[in-house]
Amino acid sequence: MGAAVAIALVGTACTGNTNPIGWAAPVAANGMVIVTNQNGTISGLKTAGADAPTVAWTYPEQAAASSGGSEDFVSRFFNFVGGLFSGNKKASNFSAVYATPRVETVGNQQRVFLASYTGDVISLDAATGKPATGWPATVNVGGRVAATPAFDGKLLYLGTNHGDIRTLDAANGSVGGAIVGTGARVWAEPLLLNGTLYISSLDHTVRAIDPNSKAERWKTDVGGAVAGNPAVMSGLLIVPTLNSAVVALDIASGEQRWKMTGDNWFWAQPLATNDVVYVATASGTVYALDRATGSEKWHSVPLTAEVRTAPVLLGGSLLIATRTGVVVALDPATGAEQWRKAIDKAAFLADPLVLDSGVVYAAEDGSLYRVTPQDQGVNLLYKRGK
C-alpha cells in the first residue's frame, strides 16, 4: 500500500507545478528591453524597431549558456525525483521572479533592481549588466517577494510573504527595518504617491502609510484578498480583489467610492483612462466601467481562460492576453471582438510592455512576443537560449 501511494505521489507530482515559475514583466530602459529568464538569468536586449533584438548582456554570464525550454513529463519526473534528495531547491535563486525589474537612476548610474521570489535582490548596471558598484552580490530581505518594489529616489520598498514592507537602500543594499506588518502576504505592488505608501495585501485590506513616521493614515477592508496591482486615476485607487469585485477608494481618505462585482476573481491590474476603467477577470471576462461611478458600460464574452495580464489600449484596440496563450483585440467602445490570435504552448501571465507601436508579451516559457494591433501581427521576438 505504502509503495503504491509513494508511486502515486511521484506520478501526481509530475503532473503539476510544484515549484514557483514566475511572471516578471519586461521593462524598457535606454533602448533596451530587460527580461528575466527562467534559467535564473536576466538579460538586456537591444531593440531596433520591429527587428529581432540582440542580447546585449546576460547576468550572470556563466549561466547564460544553459538554456531551458519547456520541460516534458520525463524531465519533470527526473527533476522531481532529484528534488526528493535536494529539497526541491531551484538551481538559481532567480529562477522564479514575479516582481518586474525596476530600472532607476542612483547617483550617475542607471541601475536594474531585481527581486526574486526567494527574497534575494540584485542590483546591476543597466548598460552593462555588471553588478552595481557598492552593492553586495545579493541581498536577502528575509521573506519571499512577489511584488514589484516601490522606489522613492533613495529607498526601495519591498513587500514580503510575511506581510511586512522592508526597505532597502538603493545605493548600498543595506536592509532597513519593517515599515508595516500586514500579517498577510503582499503580492500587489506597493504604490508610493505624494509621500504616501499604499499597501494592498492578501488580508483584504489596503493601507496608506507614511513611510517616514510609519504612521497609518488610513486602512480599508475591501472585502477580498488583493493580489493584483491597483491602478490610480483622478484621486481614485482602483483595487482588484479576489472576492470577484473591483473597489474604487478615495486615495486621500480610503473611503469606498464604488464597487463592481464580476464573474470571478480580479487579479489583473485595471487599466484606467479618464472616463473608463477596463478590468478583466480570471474567467477572461473584460468589463468596461464608468470611472466615476463604477457602473458597467459593457462586458465581453468570457474568454474562458485566466487573465492575469493588464489590458492595453493601443491602435484603437483593447488587447487582452490569457493564460492559454490567446491574444484578443476588443473594440474599446463596445467590447466586440475585433480579432484573436492563439499562440501554441504560450501562457501569458506577465504584464505587457508597450514598446513603440506594439505590445511585448512575455510568455511563461521565457519567449517574448510582439503584438501589433494595426496589422494584427503576432511575432516571436526572443526565445530564451537564442
Partner 1 sequence: MPIGLIWQTFLETPLINFMILLARASFGSYGLAILLFTVITRLVTFPLMLRTLRSMKQMQVISPLLAEVNKRYSDPRRRSEETMKIYKENGVNPLGCLGPQLIQMPIFIALYATIRLTMGNTPEGLLALSSRLYDFPYIREAIPLSSNFLFMDLSENGTVPLGVAVFAAMWLQQRISSSRTAATPGSQQAQMNSTMQWMMPIFFGYFFVVSLPAALGLYWGVGTVISLVLQWAFVGPGDFTWGSLIPAQLRPAAFGAGVSNASSSAARGGQTSSGDSDASASGGSQREDGRRGGGSGAGTAGPGARSGRRRRNPRG
Cα separation, 340 vs 336, whole angstroms? 11
Confirm or reject binding of residue 2 to partner 1 (CB under 8 A).
yes
Sign, CA torsion 105/102/203/281: positive
- Of 81-89, 324-332, 336-344, 378-386, the window that binds partner 1 (rule: CB under 8 A) is 81-89
Could you tell me which stretch among 16-24, 37-45, 149-157, 375-383 binds partner 1 (CB under 8 A)? 16-24
Q: Which stretch binds partner 1 (CB under 8 A): 103-111, 131-139, 259-267, 324-332?
A: 259-267
**Quick one: which of 59, 94, 98, 348 contacts partner 1 (CB under 8 A)?**
98
Binds partner 1 by CB under 8 A, chosen from 156, 165, 282, 310: 282
**Residue nearer to partner 1 on the CB measure, 271 or 307:** 307
Tell me how far, at minimum, the Cβ of 354 lies from partner 1, in Å: 23
Instruction: Using the minimum distance from each CB to partner 1, give the nearer residue, 58 or 160.
Output: 160
Residue from 50, 184, 314, 380 binding partner 1 (CB under 8 A): 184
Which part of the chain contacts partner 1 (CB under 8 A), choosing from 107-115, 191-199, 213-221, 261-269?
261-269
List binders of partner 1 among 199-258 (CB under 8 A).
202, 223-225, 227, 242-244
Going by C-alpha positions, the residue among 188, 179, 210 that lies closest to residue 197 is 210
Min. distance of Cβ 42 from partner 1 in angstroms? 19
DSSP summary character for residue 119:
S
x/- letters, 115..154, toward partner 1 (CB under 8 A): --x----------------------------x--------
d(CA 22, CA 364): 8
185 binds partner 1 (CB under 8 A): yes
Q: What is the C-alpha separation between 142 and 118, in angstroms, rounded? A: 8
H or E, element range at 8: helix 2-13
Within the chain, residue ranges assigned H as helices are 2-13, 61-64, 73-86
CB of 304 to partner 1, least distance (A): 9
From the list 59, 151, 187, 258, which residue makes contact with partner 1 (rule: CB under 8 A)? 187
How many beta carbons lie within 10 A of that of residue 140, not counting itself? 16
CA 176, CA 167: separation in Å to the nearest integer?
Answer: 5
Q: Which three cell numbers stand for residue 221?
A: 477592508
Coil, helix or strand at residue 117? coil
Number of H helices, E strands in the chain: 3, 32
In the numeric block, which cell numbers belong to residue 271?
A: 487599466
* CB of residue 168 to partner 1, shortest distance in Å: 21
**How far is 269 from 301, CA to CA, in rounded Å?**
19
Yes or no: say if 322 and 314 are a contact pair by the CB < 8 Å rule: no
CB of 84 to partner 1, least distance (A): 5
Question: Which of residues 151 and 187 has its CB atom nearest to partner 1 in the complex?
Answer: 187
Q: Which stretch binds partner 1 (CB under 8 A): 27-35, 36-44, 83-91, 166-174?
A: 83-91
* Nearer residue to partner 1 within complex by CB, 146 or 168: 146
Q: What are phi and psi of 116, to 5 degrees?
A: -95, 170
Total binding residues toward partner 1, as defined by CB under 8 A: 46
Instruction: Answer yes or no whether residue 76 interacts with partner 1 by CB under 8 A.
Output: no
Q: Which residue has 531593440 as its cell numbers?
A: 47
Q: Residue 249 carries which DSSP code?
A: E
Residue with cell 486615476: 233
Q: Does 84 bind partner 1 (CB under 8 A)?
A: yes
The candidate with the shortest Cα–Cα distance to 145, out of 182, 89, 99, 112, is 99
Please classify residue 311 by burial: count the beta carbons closer than 10 Å to its beta carbon, then call 0-12 exposed, 13-18 middle and 19+ buried.
buried
Residue type, 145: V
Q: Is the peptide bond preceding residue 190 cis, with omega within 30 degrees of 0?
A: no
Taking CB under 8 A as the rule, does residue 21 contact partner 1?
A: yes
Return the number of the residue (176 or 223) whose C-beta is nearest partner 1: 223
In the region spanning residues 344 to 363, those forming contacts with partner 1, defined by CB under 8 A, are 349
Interface contacts to partner 1, rule CB under 8 A:
1-6, 8-9, 12-13, 16-21, 23, 83-85, 87-88, 96, 98, 117, 146, 184-185, 187, 202, 223-225, 227, 242-244, 264-265, 267, 282-283, 306, 308, 323, 349
